[in-house]
Every structure is written in structure tokens, then in C-alpha cells.
Structure 1
Amino acid sequence: MKKRILPAVCIVAALLAGCSKNNDISGPVEKAPEVTIVTPPGGFTVDQMKWVRIAPDVINDEKATFLWTIGADTLGTTKDLLHVFATEGQYTVKFTATNSAGEGHQEIVVNIAAKTYTNGVARVFDFLSAPGQFVNTMPAWKEGDNDSTMAAKAEAALKNNSMIHLGGFGGYIVMGFDHTIINTPGENSFLVKGNAFNNWSEPGIIMVSYDANGNGIPDDEWYEIAGSEYDNPKTVKNYQITYYKPDENKVPTPNDNYAYISDTTYIRWKDNQGKTGFISKNVFHSQSYYPQWKGDSITFTGTKLTEENVVDLSGNGSNYASPAFDFGYADNWSNNDDKAKIKISWAVDETGKQANLKGVDFIKVHTGMRAKGGWLGEISTEITGVTDLNLK
């Protein structure tokens, strides 16, 4: 029987087909995203001035871009939505996922319910004053108090519009609220109330954070409110100071030229700039200036403002002045001055980049200067509360 010989063209075609089948390097064909958002009956319902958190399920999202919109307004460009609405109402929100093969989208209803909030501090998460003349009195310390009980005392004081003393550089308080303070574009956001008055400022650095992980505690990234001195070459970032618990029974070293200073070598400190010094004690306050619920030393880190503006106008220690910085600090201008108001849009990350926060849930304030004010004592930020300027 004769063998059948295939035409050459058939052999070539077969070889090409085999090569194509076995050596295909084009990869899988990209498919358009498929979007699913499981929606409760009637839509999502969240109180106004609270975070709306929606996590869609998206298939084929590896190279996709995302967009959340209400009409022509953009709410977000991340896969998960994190947004806060200022006013009540029903909103139709559209989510779109797009790649080179096309797009997938879904519209959902978000119901924002009316809610009445307290315009002030709802909780103090942490509080630690640096040494100062009102430490252990504002709020009052008693034997057995610790970090938790002192924070509770600070919280009670602020809810009662009483004053909290943060002491010298670094002393701080971390505050929370019963709602999110919204960043309304172009508008002032909040006011940290203090006791500043004409020609006497004790500025505090303001840090803000939002509850990104939704657990209700301030363990997310912090952002600094970049006030007028943020880029001043005399401002020290990551300044660190350590204070050492004093021997309250040591022989004092008074200042013979200033009768109001009872001990010039009272509380020793050293910093990370190679400097050392002392917090002085004065005749007006005889209690310990060191927080009695802490150990033998305490260390604080943060932005430090220049103390060069603090001057003795009298030349004899009787009239000191600490003029206010232009904007962006606590206890810097009087509470009724527009310059005391803060914009969330001033917040920057640790690299100095604008944070573009939609709102904040936590505010931290620490004393921003390491300076003496003569008979007025150390420069120490005082806080009496926080006002959300969105609430009328």
C-alpha cells in the first residue's frame, strides 16, 4: 500500500498551528471589573458627621481605578469608601471600577440621619503634663492616681470647662469627640480653647488624626497642624527632652536678684540638642512641679517653637511678654480672636506634605516652647476645651 504524502503547505500550516498553541505569550485576556456592593434594604444608614464605610467586592480589579461620585461631585478614588456627610438627607452614590477592558459600576442609596452632638470634648484618651507650676493641681493628683485616673480627671475638667495645665515643653493631652469634626473647604474647622491674652501666649502644637481603622481609639497616623512657624528655620522638628524627678527635700538655690524664685535648680532636664537646664520653682506654688504618678524620669518628643520672642520688657523681671505667633496653635490668641481658629486643611504628614483630610476624630496638643517667663513661671500651654466650628 502506498504511503500518502501530505502537501508541503499542510505541513507548514500544522507546524504553525502547533507553535501557536504551545508558545502563546500573549497571556490571559483582561476582563472588565465586576462590581458587587451588598446593600441593606432601603440603603446604608449612617448618622451625619459620622464616617460612612463601604467596602465593595470587585472581580478583575488588579489594574483598575476607582471612583465614588454623587452626580458630578467626587467622594473618593479608593476602592473602599470612607466619607463623612455634614448634613442629613438621602444620597445616591455611584461606584465605578475601570480598567483597559471596560468598567463595572453600581449605584447605592446612603441615608444620612440627623443627629445632635455635644460641642466639646467627649473623652480624654491620654494626659501627661511636663513639669510646671500647676502640675498636680490642674487637675489635682492624689496618692494612688495613675495614667488612667489622671486622664479621667482631665476629661471631667474639660467637660466642666475647667482648665488643664500641660506644663513645660512636651506636656500633652489627647482628646476625642462624639462625632467627626469635618473639614469644610475654605472654612475654619475648630478652636482649641486656652487662656491666652494680650502679649501673653503659651502656644501649643496641635496634632490631628482620624479613625481610619474604625476602632474608636487614636492609634492611627497623626498629622501636624502646620502653623505659621512650621517652616521657620528656628523651629525644631523631633525635639526631645527628658525631665528628672527632683529631690523635694534638697537644699534650694534661690535667685538673690528675684525674690519670687525659690529654687533655680529645681527640676533638671536635658535634650537631644546637647543642652541641659532646670525648671525653676517659685514662691507662688509650693507643691511638687513633677507629675507624681510618673517614675524617676519622663521624656517627651515633638515640634519645638523658638523661645526668642519671650522677652523681659522691664529689664528687672517684673514685666515679661510672650507675643502670639501668627496662626495655627493652641493657647496662642484669645479664644474670641479669629486668629485662634484652626483649619484642618493646614494638616501635614510627617514629610510636610498636605494631608487633605476629610475630617478628624482626635486632637492632641502639646506645649510647644521650652521657655521661662520670670515671675509668671515656665511657658506652659493651658487647655479649657475644644469647639467644633461646624456646629452652630
Structure 2
Amino acid sequence: MKKSIIYSMLFCLFLFSCKKNNVLGPDVNLLIKEDAVQAKVAVATNFSAGTNNGQAFQHEWKLDGKVVSTIFNYNFIAAKAGTYVLAYKGYNEAGEFTHTYTITVPIPVVGITPTSSKYISRILDYLPAPGQFVNETLGKPEQAQKLIGSTTNLISLGGFGGYIIFGFDHSVVNNTGNDLAIYGNPSGAPYHFSEPGVVMVSQDSNGNGLADDEWYELAGSEYSKATTIKNYEITYTNPKAFANVSWKDNQGNSGEVKVNNFHKHNFYPEFAANQETITFKGTLLPPSTGKTGSIVISSPFDWGYTDSYSTGDDYKTNLYNSFDLSWAVDKNGNKVDLKTIDFVKVYTGQNADAGNLGEISTEVKGAVDLGIK
């Protein structure tokens, strides 16, 4: 009886061993077999793995090192442009199969068509810093909207940091030479008066039509000079009255945007979300105010800034300031190769006072894509 039990147990063990030894490693059939895959922002790309021999196995998908699925498929959807690595592993007790995909998601581009306009097509944001024209005709949101389709209207950006953000009905292409023209109202010799504005650009990397992606500065003639301050920050306090607007910066300085009798109203933007204080950040250009005789002047910079009667930019002939997208640098000052851009930001680049002429305040009259004739 004991021998029969032992023989039965040995026989069962033999059968189990035979069954285990017959388990095959994964023979995987991938839906997408290529290593390199191109996808689109916000559009799903389906990756899946099946079996060629009916043998069961487990699945694991890792996107940039993080497990994103443990079933047979994974729907990849990119939130923004970039390069992603998707690693697949199919495995069981007999072995494993691996495959790695490199997924490239290009920047979404809105192509130029025969009906594309060279002018601004929309204003995405307008927030001036305190200034004498703010809260009156040249410093209201409805005036900013008048820049659409035009280069003859005018908007004031107030003191340092005040800005406007606009876009076109297409992506602006980085061609050979200058790509953008921005119109202001500087004056030339003998009584120069320029109010230089810094220009930044951005791509719609997440394809949502909003200017919420990384910004790049178009580095002008003053960018690398010791007198230019990077990562400058200034905070203005609302006086809530017709009174000087006080400010403090991150350099340990303080001062006031002074009111004058030509504009008897609060200089702080009354349409700003925060009615207590407002903070702006950016690259601070050195002041360029002075006098020619008894006349207050503000000298232009050579090139790379708007509302500046630049000689290197030949403002006298063009009547606008021109910009090359190849000047773009990131927040660390490294050059960036932009094939296209979708948004432009202009902000007042100086924190300076021109005496009885008021604060230095960049003005913008419009912009043009020089790639469209």
C-alpha cells in the first residue's frame, strides 16, 4: 500500500515537471514593430502586444522609466512636444521579451495658407506696469485689442515689466534673416527718445492655443553686457489714489513712479487681478536717459529692442524694429534653435524716469510676420 502511494506521488511529480518544462517563453507580436515612432500632441497612439503561440505571459510598459500599464496595451498621449522613451517587457516563468520605442512628438505648427495675415490676429494678455497712460485710452485692455490687424494704433506698457502678449493666425517660421517687425513710436536725432522693450517668443508646445509654455528671450545688443541685470524683479504697491506708486526690487532698491498733472488718475492698473501689489520679472536694461541742452532725451540701443530708434536696426529707413528668431536664448542664456514660434511677448525693459516726460514706458503699435509679403 505504501509503495503504491509513493509510486503515485512520483508519477504526479513527473507529470508536473513535464508540464513546467513545456512552458515556453513569450513569443510576442507587437502591433508597432518599429523602434522609432512619431506621434502628435494630444493624439493617442496605441501600443499593444499579443502572442504568436498562444502562450500566456505578463506585460509591463514603462514611459521614461515609470510603469504606465501592466496589461497588453498602452495608449500614449503626449501633453506636449518632446522625445519620450517607451519600454515594453513581456515575461513569464520561462523568459522575457523586451522592446524599446523612441517616440518623437514635434512642436505643433499652424501652417501658412494663402489667406494667412501678416498682422497680429489676437491679443492673449495685456498687463501694464504703473504709468501715466495706464487706465486711460492708451493704457486699457480695449486699446490693446486695436493692435489686431493694424500697425497704426498704440498701446502703452507702463514702467518696467509691463507687457503685452500676442499671436498670429499661423506659426511664424524662422527664415534666413529677420523674421518679425514690431512697431513703436521712438524719435531720432537730435532729440532721441527711445523706450526700449524686451522681446520674448514661445512655441505652443502643448497645442492648447495658450501662451503657457516656455518663453525665450531674443537677446539684443545689451544682453551680455555687465550693465544688464538678469532675473530682475520689481514689486509695485497700489496707492489707490492719484499719488506716486512706490516700488521695491530684488536688488535692494526702492523708489516711485511719479505722478504728474497731465494725467490726474491712479497710475496703478485698475484692471489688474491683484489690487494690492503687482510683481514683474525679466531682464533689466540699463537706463539711457540724459539731456541734449535742456531737453531730456532717452538714447536707443543698437539692435534687438522695440520702440528704440536703433542705428544697427536701421529704424530710420524701416520705421520698425526687426527681430531674428535665431537670437533666442533660454533662461540660462543658452541659444535655442527654434524652427517656428507662436506667441510674442513685449515688455518695458528699463526702470527709469525721464523727468517731466514721465516714466520710461515701451509703446507698441503692432507687429508683422516678415515671412509673409
Q: TM-score, normalised by structure 1?
A: 0.65
Deviation (angstroms), 1:284: 2.1
Residue 352 of structure 1: how far off its partner (Å): 0.9
Change (3 A) 1:353 1:55: closer
Q: Which residue, 199, 203, 216 being the options, matches 1:210?
A: 203
Matches within 5 A, 1:263-282: 266-282=244-260
* RMSD value, Cα: 3.3
Structure 1 match to 2:302: 326
* Contact 2:35/2:100, CA 8 A, preserved across alignment: no
Deviation at 1:58, TM superposition (A): 9.2
Q: Determine helix, strand or coil for the equivalent of 2:232.
A: strand
Query: Residue 283 in 1 paired to residue 308 in 2?
Result: no
CA-CA distance at 1:158 after TM superposition: 4.3
- Partner of residue 277, structure 2: 297
Partner residue of 1:311? 290
How much does 1:182 deviate?
Answer: 0.5
Structure 1 equivalent of residue 105 of structure 2: 80
* Contact kept? 1:86, 1:182, Cα under 8 Å: no
- The 3 A distance-change label for structure 1 pair 182 and 335 is farther
- The alpha-carbon deviation at position 228 of structure 1 amounts to 0.6
Matched, 1:366 2:347: yes
Are 2:246 and 2:257, in contact at CA under 8 Å, matched by a contact in 1?
yes
CA 1:282 to 1:216, structure 2 compared with 1: closer, same or farther past 3 Å?
Answer: same
Q: Give the AA of the match of 1:332.
A: S
Cross-structure match for 2:72: none
Distance change >3 Å, CA 34–CA 231, structure 1 → 2: closer
Q: Which of 181, 184, 200 is equivalent to 1:191?
A: 181
Q: How many residues align?
A: 284
Distance in 2 between residues matched to 1:341 and 1:217, nearest whole Å: 24
Q: Which residue of 2 aligns with 1:260?
A: none
Cα pair distance change 1:345/1:136, threshold 3 Å: same
Kept after mapping to 2: 8 A contact 1:35/1:56: no
* 1:1-392 pair list within 5 angstroms: 33=34, 79-82=104-107, 114-139=113-138, 141=140, 150=141, 153-160=143-150, 161-184=152-175, 186-198=176-188, 199-248=192-241, 266-294=244-272, 295-307=275-287, 309-314=288-293, 318-333=294-309, 334=315, 336-337=317-318, 340-392=321-373
| Structure-1 separation of matches of 2:86 and 2:258 | 63
Structure 2: distance between partners of 1:157 and 1:35: 44
- CA distance, structure 2, for counterparts of residue 319 and residue 297 of structure 1: 34
Q: Name stretches of at least 5 consecutive residues in structure 1 with no aligned partner.
A: 1-31, 39-52, 66-77, 88-113, 142-149, 251-265
Question: Retained in 2: the 8 A contact 1:183–1:343?
Answer: yes
Q: CA–CA distance in 2 between the matches of 1:280 and 1:299?
A: 18
Structure 2 vs 1, CA of residues 162 and 81 (structure 1 numbering), >3 Å: closer, same or farther?
same
Summarize the Cα distance change of 1:227–1:339 in structure 2 as closer, same or farther, 3 Å threshold.
Answer: farther
Q: For residues 242 and 55 of structure 1, what CA distance do their matches in structure 2 show?
A: 38
Identity across the alignment (%): 41
CA deviations on 1:73-109 (whole Å, 9 max, x unpaired) are xxxxx7234475977xxxxxxxxxxxxxxxxxxxxxx
Per-residue deviation, 1:55: 10
In 2, Cα distance between equivalents of 1:324 and 1:336: 15
Q: C-alpha offsets along residues 271-312 of structure 1, whole Å, 9 cap, x if unaligned?
A: 1111111111222222322211230211111110001x2112
Q: Aligned partners of 2:334, 2:307: CA distance in 1, in Å?
A: 25
Please identify, of 330-339 and 360-369, the stretch whose mean Cα deviation from structure 2 is larger.
Answer: 330-339
Where in structure 2 are there 5+ consecutive unaligned residues? 1-32, 40-80, 89-97, 310-314
Using structure 2 for the length normalisation, give the TM-score.
0.68
Contact 1:267 1:278 survives alignment (8 Å): yes
Return closer, same or farther for 1:81/1:167 CA change in 2, 3 Å cut-off.
closer
Shift of the 62–209 alpha-carbon distance from structure 1 to 2, 3 Å rule, reads farther
> What are the Cα deviations for residues 116-152 of structure 1, in whole angstroms up to 9, with x where unaligned?
11221111111111111111124465xxxxxxxx3x5
Conserved in 1, the CA contact under 8 Å of 2:133 and 2:139? no
Q: Deviations over 1:189-215 (max 9, x none)?
A: 001111112121100011100111111
Shift in CA distance, 371/211, structure 1 to aligned 2, threshold 3 Å: same
Corresponding residue SS for 1:328? coil
